[in-house]
């Protein structure tokens, strides 16, 4: 099985002001003359990790990565003003133009797959290829699946769900996202942090195929917990700033773009049906279902993702 490429450091970092509020942190890695690719992280609000650089052959790719508005090293931290899907799509295009890149590959998983699809459907002429993992289309059923009492994830991870549920009083549980949002938007820092940590425990520990109910997840850092929980609740309560089925209806705009869809069969955060629906609407795309959960670091998912980026490099580089 293919593995991640070796660890690398950026050869250049940037801070790019995209409006009067937001300044983005951007990295460039790999070969400055290589095939350009934009990496779109998950969340929203999760920010970059060093392993994100490693899905691409550094000898053949010019790897561009950035922290989305309010996430990671972008400033202001956890800022939600002017922070919508449309703003992030515009940011990707601003980055492309800033670097003088004519066309590039878009790579994204989970929320990053949503953003990659939205970007490609808005600017199809700028996209050479798509590599998508853990598909999230932002539809109402998907939003309720993981975070609400009438969803399905609580039946899979009941031990972990209990802690997420018990943070909210019984009388507010009919709309968990709104209940969490009231706390995440509180003026009291302690209230915000406690809600963010409860949110992060539920999501962050639910990514792997082999599940440990006591695993704290990957949002233990208070700053990360707050940016992820606030951004996700903000986007979820606004239905991802997309119309229902918008990304499925927009497939005709990207049908001719080479694309690989990779889905873990037992992904509980972004269940299989979304990837299946996308693949049915887009039979021209290559669709891989692997024995895995949600995590991009799962060996079965890494194998297909690296194979997909290698194939695009063979095609274009």
Q: Is residue 42 part of a domain?
A: yes
Question: Which residues partner with 13 through β-bridges?
Answer: 27
What is the number of residues in the chain?
A: 317
What confidence score (pLDDT) does residue 68 get?
A: 98
Average pLDDT, rounded, for the chain: 96
Task: Check the CA dihedral 144-147-153-155 and report its sign.
Answer: negative
Residue 3 lies in a domain: no
Q: What is the mean pLDDT of residues 71-96?
A: 98
Q: Is residue 109 part of a domain?
A: yes
CB atoms within 10 A of CB 253: 14
Q: Residue 91 catalytic?
A: no
pLDDT at 258 over 90: yes
Catalytic-labelled residue, pool 294, 295, 298, 310: 294
**Same domain membership, residue 88 and residue 30:** yes
Q: Is residue 224 located within the same domain as residue 249?
A: no
User: pLDDT tier at 145 (50, 70, 90 boundaries)?
Assistant: very high
Q: Are residues 253 and 291 in the same domain?
A: yes
- Based on the domain organization, do 193 and 264 belong to the same domain? no
Q: Pick the last residue of a domain from 198, 218, 240.
A: 240
Span 126-153, average pLDDT: 96
Given 206, 240, 274, the domain boundary residue is 240
Considering the domain architecture, whether residues 154 and 234 belong to the same structural domain is answered as yes
The catalytic position among 57, 91, 267, 310 is 267
Is residue 2 a part of any domain in this protein? no
Q: Which of 52, 74, 110, 310 is catalytic?
A: 110
The tens digit of pLDDT for each residue in 238-253 reads 999 999 899 999 999 9
Task: Give the strand pairing for 35-40 and 104-109.
Answer: parallel
Structural domain including 168 reads 141-240
Last residue of a domain, one of 212, 240, 268: 240
pLDDT of res. 210 = 78
Q: Quote the number of domains for the chain.
A: 2
Q: What is the DSSP annotation of 123-189? A: -GGGEEEEEEES-----HHHHHHHHSTTSSGGGT-HHHHHHHHHTS-GGGTTSHHHHHHHHHT-S-H
Mean pLDDT of 227-236: 97
Residue 35 covered by a domain: yes
Give catalytic status of residue 267 as yes or no.
yes
Asked if residue 126 and residue 40 are part of one domain, the reply reads yes
Q: What is the pLDDT of residues 265-291, one digit of tens each?
A: 999 999 999 999 999 999 999 999 999
259: CATH: 3.40.50.1820
What average pLDDT score do residues 134-148 get? 96
Both 145 and 187 in one domain: the answer is yes
Q: Are residues 148 and 272 in the same domain?
A: no
Confidence of residue 25 (pLDDT cuts 50, 70, 90): very high
Q: Are residues 123 and 230 in the same domain?
A: no
Q: What is the mean pLDDT of residues 106-134?
A: 98
Query: What pLDDT, in 10s, does the model give residues 172-220?
Result: 999 999 999 999 999 999 999 999 999 998 988 788 877 777 776 666 7
Q: Which residues, at least 6 apart from 17, have a Cβ–Cβ distance to it below 8 Å?
A: 23, 24
């Amino acid at each position: 099985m293919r593995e991640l490429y070796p660890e690398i450091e950026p050869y250049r970092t940037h801070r790019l002001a995209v409006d009067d509020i937001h300044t983005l942190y951007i990295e460039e890695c790999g070969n400055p003359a290589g095939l350009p690719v934009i990496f779109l992280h998950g969340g929203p609000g999760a920010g970059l990790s060093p392993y994100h650089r490693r899905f691409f052959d550094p000898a053949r790719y010019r790897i561009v990565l950035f922290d989305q508005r309010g996430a990671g090293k972008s400033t202001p931290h956890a800022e939600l003003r002017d922070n919508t899907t449309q703003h992030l799509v515009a940011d990707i295009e601003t980055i492309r133009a800033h670097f003088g890149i004519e066309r590039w590959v878009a790579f994204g998983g989970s929320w990053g797959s949503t953003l990659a699809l939205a970007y490609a459907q808005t600017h199809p002429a700028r996209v050479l290829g798509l590599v998508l993992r853990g598909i999230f289309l932002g539809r109402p059923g998907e939003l309720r699946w993981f975070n609400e009492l009438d969803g399905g994830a609580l039946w899979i991870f009941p031990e972990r769900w209990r802690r997420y549920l018990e943070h909210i009083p019984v009388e507010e549980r009919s709309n968990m996202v709104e209940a969490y949002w009231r706390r995440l938007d509180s003026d009291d820092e302690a209230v915000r942090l406690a809600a963010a940590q409860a949110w992060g425990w539920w999501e962050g520990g639910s990514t792997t195929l082999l599940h440990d109910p006591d695993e704290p997840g990957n949002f233990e850092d208070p700053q990360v917990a707050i940016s992820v929980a606030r951004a996700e609740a903000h986007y979820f309560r606004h239905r991802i700033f997309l119309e229902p089925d918008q990304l499925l209806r927009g497939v005709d705009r990207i049908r001719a773009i080479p694309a690989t869809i990779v889905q873990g069969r037992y992904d509980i955060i972004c269940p299989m049906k979304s990837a299946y629906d996308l693949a049915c609407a887009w039979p021209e795309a290559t669709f891989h279902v692997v024995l895995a959960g949600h995590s991009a670091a799962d060996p079965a998912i890494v194998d297909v993702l690296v194979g997909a980026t290698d194939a695009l490099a063979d095609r274009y580089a």
